[in-house]
Structure 1
Amino acid sequence: MARCNHCGAHVSEHFARVFADDDGRLLACPNCAANAGIAEVSKQRARATQ
C-alpha cells in the first residue's frame, strides 16, 4: 500500500497514481493537506525540497 512521503499516512494506489510526482513521491495527502489543495501543497513541498 502506498504512503505519503510527508506524513507517512496510507493512501490508496489510485490516489498515488493521480498525485505522485514523476519519481513516485507523494508529498501531500488528505491526512496532511486540505483535499482541495493537495496538488498545490504537493507542488510547494516539492519546490521546498529541491
Structure 2
Amino acid sequence: MPKCDHCGAHVSEQFVRVFADENGDVRACVSCSANAGIAEVARQRAREAGA
C-alpha cells in the first residue's frame, strides 16, 4: 500500500503515478500539504532532503 514519505498517510496508486518523483517517493500528499501546492511542496522537501 503506497504512502506519503513525509506524513505516512495512504495515497492511491494514481496519486503515486502523478506526484511521485523518479524514484517513486511521495514527499507530499493532500494530508500534509495544500491541494494546490502538492508538487511545489514535494520539490521543496526533496531539495531539503538532498535528493
Q: State the TM-score, normalizing by the size of structure 2.
A: 0.95
CA displacement at 1:3 relative to structure 2: 0.2
Moved over 6 A (4+): none
Q: What is the total number of aligned residue pairs between the two structures?
A: 50
Partner of 2:25: 25
CA displacement at 1:21 relative to structure 2: 0.2
CA displacement at 1:20 relative to structure 2: 0.3
- Partners of 1:28 and 1:43 lie apart in 2 by 9
Gapped runs of 5+ residues in structure 2? Answer: none
Higher strand share: 1
> Identity across aligned pairs (percent)?
64
Gapped runs of 5+ residues in structure 1? Answer: none
